[in-house]
Amino acid sequence: MLKRQHHVAFSLAALAVILAAVLHFMGANDVLQFVIDAAALSLLAMQVSSGTEQVGAHLNPRATGVMQAALGNLPELLVCSFSLRAGLVHVVQAALIGSILGNSLLVLGLAILVGGIKHGRMHFDAEAPRMIASLMMLAVAALAMPTLAAELHTPAAAHERALSAASAIVLLAVFVASIPFSLNSDPERSVRHAERADVEADAWPLRVAVAVLVVASVGAGLVSEWFVSVLEPAITALHVSEEFAGLVIVALAGNAVENVAGIRLAAKNRPDYAISVILNSSLLIALAVGPVLVLLSFVLGGPVLTLVLRPLLIAALLITTLTTAIIVNDGETIWLEGVALIGLYGIIAAAFWWG
């Protein structure tokens, strides 16, 4: 049976999409469309996530993991694809990095803060977070090398498209190799059976779960196109840079909002599961979504997306990865570490306000 909160969530998402459609076809103010489209996209991202989870409740855990990996970042993939076709390469690059920063700093910081205030010092198994941190360092290296090659004017600088494609293929190969580890690792081995039993007891009927997933995915596709169509004029009207819009607004609307589930898990004193959900989302962006977009850009018809980024984006990603690795390395967190992560996110966002 569907709970009242689910009906409220469906209603809010539907109203946001209807309002976005009305404003789009009426040709309303670009900034107003931009705000409503971003809100609708966030609500749809949450519904895609919920639909994927509920369909997974009718499958085995391994199949659920594959579904979440394939569909969990669909809204952001759509937004970035439409942005590439519109020629907004810098927005896409910033959005990909911003999604990682939003999850690894803002969402993780809020989860640690909420869990720490409610439950005090929280302990978790650090094995999986350490592995995620190691793979994130590989992703940072894969993103840094094309950028360094261009900035240092090496012979590879003349082949940035080929180097980006090669790096993307390597990252995808690592992602495929990491799937068995991700599916077999169990951050809460002692409580996951009870957790899954709770999910199954609260599961939607399969036809409802599939319908929500399909409708939310179609809605995300429509709203993504409307969102991108007003992105440039809204950026101009708001006097913000493309990098800030991608790093903060597009990234939060398309990806990080759905990970509020991690905050709820931390509030329930399940830090293992919360940290795994949040950091795995960042890793998926780095190892799968970004590389897929690089390869797709060769056939989308717009400019080719390369991994030659602004140096400040690479620096922000490196600082984020190192800071996150330090915090999760000891297997325990306190609320002050959450404050530090949120503060770092604010500093990085402010650095991109002017471009």
Question: Could you read off the pLDDT of 237-268 as tens digits, one per residue?
Answer: 888 888 898 898 888 877 655 567 778 888 88
* pLDDT greater than 70 at residue 70: no
341 contacts 323 by C-beta, under 8 angstroms: yes
* pLDDT greater than 70 at residue 6: yes
Per-residue confidence (pLDDT) for residue 67, from 0 to 100: 62
Cα of first residue to Cα of last residue in the chain, in angstroms, is: 48
| Neighbouring C-beta atoms of residue 121, cutoff 10 Å | 11
- Highest-pLDDT range among 44-58, 73-87, 125-139: 125-139
Least confident range of 87-101, 199-213, 261-275, 335-349 = 199-213
Per-residue confidence (pLDDT) for residue 200, from 0 to 100: 52
- For Cα atoms 348, 103, 165, give the angle at the middle one, nearest 5 degrees: 85
Whose CA is closest to 355, among 238, 244, 239, 233? 244
Instruction: Compute the average pLDDT of residues 125-145.
Output: 90
Per-residue confidence (pLDDT) for residue 194, from 0 to 100: 41
Per-residue confidence (pLDDT) for residue 185, from 0 to 100: 58
Enter the tokens of residue 224. 């993504």
198 contacts 23 by C-beta, under 8 angstroms: no
Cα distances (Å, whole numbers) of residue 273 to 123, 133, 245, 277, 290: 11, 16, 30, 6, 24
How far apart (Å, rounded) are the C-alpha atoms in residues 52 and 64?
A: 8
How far apart (Å, rounded) are the C-alpha atoms in residues 220 and 217?
A: 5
How far apart (Å, rounded) are the C-alpha atoms in residues 274 and 35?
A: 29
Give pTM, 2 decimals: 0.85
Least confident range of 63-72, 258-267, 280-289 = 63-72
> What is the pLDDT of the chain when averaged over all its residues?
84
Per-residue confidence (pLDDT) for residue 71, from 0 to 100: 66
* pLDDT greater than 80 at residue 201: no
Per-residue confidence (pLDDT) for residue 191, from 0 to 100: 42
Residue ranges per structural domain of the chain: 4-351
Number of H helices, E strands in the chain: 18, 2
Query: Is the model more confident about 180 or about 84?
Result: 84
Partners of 332 in the β-ladder: 123
68: confidence class by pLDDT, cuts 50, 70, 90:
low
Q: Radius of gyration over alpha carbons of the chain, in Å?
A: 20
